[in-house]
Chain A
């Protein structure tokens, strides 16, 4: 089974990858694709919060969102190193949900792993999160990893 792990550069997406790794059987996973999606028209096309600070500073200097996305997928790929299955990384661009679904379709994935942010008002009422859209339209099962609840609510 091929698995697509999506990252938006957030720490939660790394936690999602680790969570998946914690229970999945590496013998049954034939390959993993770590995918990041750049949103060219957004205010910040890709925000990398995963890479070490020095790597991030290097990316900031060139202003390259593509480099930021590449460092983020590398961090997740590194976390899966030595686990078993072959890990590929890929950076796509466009609308996150649809690109993640395309990637899943192209690799004939058996599972998509995404992280879900906390559902705020804007999220549920106005647009719906990337995780929700992936759940609705993915060609395969989807693992949505929810972060720990916030302290105050």
Chain B
């Protein structure tokens, strides 16, 4: 008898599960949690009272990069993200590997700094347990949740996003209340406290604020399952980023108006300072606990997605025979990449442990924070490459419906990324050593796999050889 496969076009409409609205909330939740709760103090310290400008600029550059992502995703709606696009554009294995390793290490660093941020807010609720213990337990729980598959719940995802937005609305509400009472001094908003020129101060703030927008690229993970991606994806991605950007700028203005900048800069949990300033007539203790819980939920949401992304990247790399095949191992019943999840946990936990130990011994280097700033270099590099890939792939694989981002805007985004990259390296040349070190680890992994991974391949085959019987590269 015959085996028939239904027309894919008709089926796809029915069976993809991510709607535009869900994707919008996915992007929003992913972007919002990652930075504002953790980074706002650092940005304020770098720029001064006018630090909302840094947020506005960082958000703009990130959103322009988002346009390039949106265009590429509508052309290639698959889960691999930046590495896939760069591979399509340049067809260079080494470069693709570099992108993947960079992305992975920046994701590890982000998880580390998010976990520290979580601990800082946790301490506001219950001070007894040491921060290191909190971060480790937090990461372990998230890894277990991902193993079980709780993260798949779309409803939980939406709820977390609503809570995140609610927390930031509280901050904005305090700002509005403060202004309405007539206590606000708007002069703060034009103050620059960093030494040297205001422009350099803003750029250094932008580099940090930019980190607050990362996370949007994780949306490429679900592109393949988006209903009508060519239409909904650009709208949801850019819409989510613009919403997040507007919220960021308003929150930054509210924070600058209500709390002295140096107090923000010195705080581990800067947004709490706004709540603790006691501006609205609600008891400070209650608000503090409520807000700390909201902040923890926001950070949890982003960290969950970053853990998912790490194990997904490792899985993809193992399938492509770039890292040992064990990373592609799937738990027989839970269908989760058990080795990848465990490895991610060990790496991030290791980073946090070493960071704490170095701090205790007085070495004066906070490894996690250091990595978070260093990996901005990676991200800027990746984003610049993604924009170049988008431009380079123009004219290929296009049809009438393909979303086409405005070329001038992409060029502005590219310049923005390169300027930031230049500034970060110029401002902190030592970061290049860290970058080199991280890449060296990647190269070692690559070499280990090429020496020991041979037995996975058929005799005589080289790494990356197309396997007999396929012509997968060109369609």
Beyond known contacts A41-B157, A84-B1: 9 more, CB 8 A cutoff: A42-B149, A43-B151, A56-B319, A74-B5, A88-B4, A90-B11, A118-B333, A127-B148, A127-B150
Contacts of B312 in A (CB 8 A): 43-44
Q: In the complex the two chains form, is B225's CB within 8 Å of A38's CB?
A: yes
Q: In the complex the two chains form, is B334's CB within 8 Å of A63's CB?
A: no
A55 at the interface (CB under 8 A from B): yes
Q: In the complex the two chains form, is B333's CB within 8 Å of A123's CB?
A: yes
Contacts of B18 in A (CB 8 A): 40, 93
Q: In the complex the two chains form, is A43's CB within 8 Å of B6's CB?
A: no
Q: In the complex the two chains form, is B472's CB within 8 Å of A49's CB?
A: no
Q: In the complex the two chains form, is B330's CB within 8 Å of A47's CB?
A: yes
Q: In the complex the two chains form, is B316's CB within 8 Å of A63's CB?
A: yes
Q: In the complex the two chains form, is A91's CB within 8 Å of B15's CB?
A: yes
Q: In the complex the two chains form, is B467's CB within 8 Å of A57's CB?
A: yes
Among A44, A64, A93, which residue has its beta carbon within 8 angstroms of that of B330? A44
Instruction: Pick out which of these stretches binds chain B: A14-22, A75-83, A137-145.
Output: A75-83
A99 to B315, CA, bound (A): 25
Q: Which range contains the number of A residues in contact with the other chain? A: 35 or more
Kindly provide the distance from the CB of A146 to the nearest chain B CB, expressed in whole angstroms: 11
- Chain B contact residue count (CB 8 A cutoff): 59
A39 to B149, CA, bound (A): 10
Interface string of B1-34 (1 = CB under 8 A from A): 1111110000100111110000000100000000
Contact of A90 with B15 at beta-carbon distance under 8 Å, contacts A61-B472, A78-B3, A83-B1 already known: yes
Contacts of A49 in B (CB 8 A): 330
A91 to B6, CA, bound (A): 10
Which parts of B37-80 form the interface with A (CB within 8 Å)?
76, 78-80
Kindly provide the distance from the CB of A1 to the nearest chain B CB, expressed in whole angstroms: 16
Q: In the complex the two chains form, is B1's CB within 8 Å of A89's CB?
A: no
A83 to B2, CA, bound (A): 10
Contact of A123 with B15 at beta-carbon distance under 8 Å, contacts A40-B225, A63-B80 already known: no
Among A12, A42, A60, A85, which residue has its beta carbon within 8 angstroms of that of B1? A85
Instruction: Pick out which of these stretches binds chain A: B122-130, B267-275, B335-343, B358-366.
Output: B335-343
Q: In the complex the two chains form, is A44's CB within 8 Å of B3's CB?
A: no
Kindly provide the distance from the CB of A3 to the nearest chain B CB, expressed in whole angstroms: 14
Contacts of A123 in B (CB 8 A): 333-334
Q: Could you list 11 examples of A-B contacts with CB < 8 Å?
A: A40-B18, A41-B157, A54-B468, A57-B319, A57-B470, A63-B80, A86-B4, A87-B1, A93-B225, A118-B333, A122-B148
Q: In the complex the two chains form, is A58's CB within 8 Å of B470's CB?
A: yes
Contacts of A118 in B (CB 8 A): 332-333
A interface list, Cβ under 8 A from B: 8-10, 12, 38-45, 47, 49, 53-66, 74, 77-78, 80-95, 99, 117-120, 122-123, 126-127, 129
Contact of A61 with B11 at beta-carbon distance under 8 Å, contacts A43-B315, A90-B6 already known: no
A82 to B2, CA, bound (A): 7
Q: In the complex the two chains form, is A87's CB within 8 Å of B4's CB?
A: yes
A106 to B116, CA, bound (A): 48
Contacts of B79 in A (CB 8 A): 45, 63-65
The chain B residue with its CB closest to the CB of A116 is B333
Q: In the complex the two chains form, is B78's CB within 8 Å of A42's CB?
A: no
Contact of A40 with B222 at beta-carbon distance under 8 Å, contacts A87-B4, A122-B148 already known: yes
B395 at the interface (CB under 8 A from A): no
A83 to B78, CA, bound (A): 35
Q: In the complex the two chains form, is A41's CB within 8 Å of B337's CB?
A: no
B393 at the interface (CB under 8 A from A): no
A96 to B278, CA, bound (A): 48
Q: In the complex the two chains form, is A42's CB within 8 Å of B4's CB?
A: no
Kindly provide the distance from the CB of B20 to the nearest chain A CB, expressed in whole angstroms: 14
Which parts of B203-244 form the interface with A (CB within 8 Å)?
221-222, 224-225
B183 at the interface (CB under 8 A from A): no
Q: In the complex the two chains form, is A93's CB within 8 Å of B17's CB?
A: yes
Contacts of B152 in A (CB 8 A): 39-42, 95
Interface string of B443-475 (1 = CB under 8 A from A): 000000000000000000000001111101100
A8 to B330, CA, bound (A): 11
